[in-house]
Amino acid sequence: MQIGKIIGTAVSTKKDEKLEGLRLQIVEYIEPSGKSTGSHVVAVDSVGAGVGEVVLVACGSSARLTETSKEKPVDAIIMAIVDELAGEGSVYYKNY
Amino acid sequence: MQIGKIIGTAVSTKKDEKLEGLRLQIVEYIEPSGKSTGSHVVAVDSVGAGVGEVVLVACGSSARLTETSKEKPVDAIIMAIVDELAGEGSVYYKNY
Amino acid sequence: MQIGKIIGTAVSTKKDEKLEGLRLQIVEYIEPSGKSTGSHVVAVDSVGAGVGEVVLVACGSSARLTETSKEKPVDAIIMAIVDELAGEGSVYYKNY
Amino acid sequence: MQIGKIIGTAVSTKKDEKLEGLRLQIVEYIEPSGKSTGSHVVAVDSVGAGVGEVVLVACGSSARLTETSKEKPVDAIIMAIVDELAGEGSVYYKNY
Amino acid sequence: MQIGKIIGTAVSTKKDEKLEGLRLQIVEYIEPSGKSTGSHVVAVDSVGAGVGEVVLVACGSSARLTETSKEKPVDAIIMAIVDELAGEGSVYYKNY
């Protein structure tokens, strides 16, 4: 999974019918330190994550293994909201 | 999914027979701000998107999960036309 | 799919038995303008493309969805020879 | 597979239910020489690897082929702890 | 497939049980000219390739379509040893 921060939402009315009702979040990929990598992805939200939250994104066929995304033409899913990223004796990020 | 702008169409007469009738659009990947990333993809259109439109592209096996692309040797599909890309209190892109 | 130009052929006698009889073309990825991206891929040819031709390459599991490549350990296939790449009022590439 | 070093752990309470009980390790990709590539991945641990250890990470659908990760929305798994990386007459890395 | 040169072997005792008996080769990706791209992959060997040999590596789900790698958590396989890489009137690499 990649670490990212939600920076917005994509709105689309003309889309594949299987996408109806899915929430499409714009995620900026970040390093554990919080620094942006400069890359983005638009991912389906399966956990109720909102703008500003740090999340984990799974890509490829794995993105279709949640109830939300099953058999849909999506290649990226937000499957966790990050509380903390920590090493031994160091904390990269915390949200509490 | 990746955000991109359609910049043209690829025409091919000699191709795998499963590709007959598919529309192949040339998509330039862009950042939410609209800036080009410098990368391109040729994607099958499943939503009637035309040159100049901002779209979402799904890649990999997920690209085969639309009626248009089912069981075909394609690895990229346009599955949504973007109306708006917006953050909290900011709009990156709008098409209306 | 990615746009590329065939620059040569890979010859191999010691290979997985499922690869017998497949033609392995060396493809240099190019931008729509024809400029090299600096990356290469070795792709199975399913359309009779030769050195110098501009082609479309599908990667990943999608590369196994042609008669030529079915259930074989290959991750890249040439599934179309490009006749023209064109935008609105501009032609990036033409082969006729 | 990619070579990486575990630099920490990701903690998440709000996540897809299939992720319950999985250990999410933050892995920094490294070259055989041990030098960081600058990229990271968060991978599910299937072998009991801890912070500081050099591991192999499998990505994509292959990440779901362990008992730990079967049918779960994860796209990266730690499937081996590296003891040694060695060429002919040279050792890039050893852990003993 | 990508072109690479085997530069060593990865040794692991603590690993997913499905990996028992597989040979894990460290491959440095190269351009057709032989120049290193600076990237590496650890791939399962299915053709008896050794250090110093130029090989083709298939990645993703395709890496599981050999007898050696079937249903195993591996995402890269060596499926051919390269004898020659040649264009029209030019030879990039030869091994004989």
* Chain A contacts to B (CB-CB under 8 A): 7-16, 18-19, 24, 26, 40-43, 51-52, 59-61, 63-64, 71-76
Contact (Cβ atoms closer than 8 angstroms) between residue B1 and residue B58 = yes
Helix (H) or strand (E) holding D90: strand D90-94
Q: Which residue has the tokens 């090299």?
A: C36
User: What integer is the mean pLDDT of D31-49?
Assistant: 96
Radius of gyration over alpha carbons of chain E, in Å? 14
Q: What pLDDT, on the 0 to 100 scale, is given for residue D42?
A: 98
Q: What secondary structure letter does DSSP report for B15?
A: B
Bridge partner list, A20: none
Query: Confidence class of residue B88 from pLDDT cuts 50, 70 and 90?
Result: confident
User: What integer is the mean pLDDT of B22-34?
Assistant: 96
In the CATH hierarchy, which fold is given to the domain comprising D2-85? OB fold (Dihydrolipoamide Acetyltransferase, E2P) (2.40.50)
Backbone angles phi, psi at B86, to 5 degrees: -140, 145
pLDDT surpassing 80 at residue A96 = no
Cβ of D75 and A60 within 8 Å?
A: yes
Cα A50 to chain centroid, rounded:
10
Query: Confidence class of residue B7 from pLDDT cuts 50, 70 and 90?
Result: very high
* Number of Cα atoms under 13 Å in the Cβ half of residue E35: 6
Q: What pLDDT, on the 0 to 100 scale, is given for residue E94?
A: 92
CATH code assigned to E2-11+21-85: 2.40.50.220
> Class assignment of domain B2-94?
mainly beta
* Chain C contacts to E (CB-CB under 8 A): 7-16, 18-19, 24, 26, 40-43, 51-52, 59-61, 63-64, 71-76
- E-assigned strands of B1-96? 2-11, 24-30, 36-45, 54-59, 76-81, 84-87, 90-94
Cβ of D41 and A1 within 8 Å?
A: yes
Q: Which residue has the tokens 């191999």?
A: C12
- E-assigned strands of chain C? 2-11, 24-30, 36-45, 54-59, 76-81, 84-87, 90-94
pLDDT in tens, C7-19: 999 999 999 999 9
Tens digit of each residue's pLDDT, chain E (96 residues) = 999 999 999 999 999 999 999 999 999 999 999 999 999 999 999 999 999 999 999 999 999 999 999 999 999 999 999 999 999 889 999 987
E58: its two tokens: 């298939």
Q: What angle do CA B77, B61, E31 make, to 5 degrees?
A: 90
Cβ of B56 and A9 within 8 Å?
A: no
pLDDT in tens, A22-75: 999 999 999 999 999 999 999 999 999 999 999 999 999 999 999 999 999 999
CA distances from B89 to A43, A55, D21, D29, D40 (A): 20, 21, 37, 36, 31
CA distances from E20 to C76, D46, D80, E72 (A): 28, 15, 11, 10
CA distances from B79 to A70, B76, E45 (A): 16, 9, 38
CA distances from D14 to A83, C82, D72 (A): 8, 47, 16
In the CATH hierarchy, which fold is given to the domain comprising C2-89? OB fold (Dihydrolipoamide Acetyltransferase, E2P) (2.40.50)
User: What integer is the mean pLDDT of B21-26?
Assistant: 96
Residues of A in contact with D41 (CB under 8 A): 1-2
Query: Confidence class of residue D88 from pLDDT cuts 50, 70 and 90?
Result: confident
What residues contact residue B38 under an 8 Å CB cut-off, 6+ apart?
B29
Q: What pLDDT, on the 0 to 100 scale, is given for residue C88?
A: 85
Residues of A in contact with B90 (CB under 8 A): 8
CA distance B78 to chain C (A): 12
Q: What pLDDT, on the 0 to 100 scale, is given for residue E6?
A: 98
Q: What pLDDT, on the 0 to 100 scale, is given for residue C89?
A: 86
Q: What pLDDT, on the 0 to 100 scale, is given for residue C46?
A: 94
Q: What pLDDT, on the 0 to 100 scale, is given for residue A18?
A: 93
Cβ of A42 and B2 within 8 Å?
A: yes
pLDDT surpassing 80 at residue D96 = no
Query: Confidence class of residue B76 from pLDDT cuts 50, 70 and 90?
Result: very high
Neighbours of A, requiring at least 3 CB pairs below 8 Å, are B, D
CA distance A72 to chain D (A): 14
Q: What secondary structure letter does DSSP report for C96?
A: -
What residues contact residue D39 under an 8 Å CB cut-off, 6+ apart?
D28, D29
Cβ of A85 and D18 within 8 Å?
A: no
CA distance A86 to chain B (A): 28
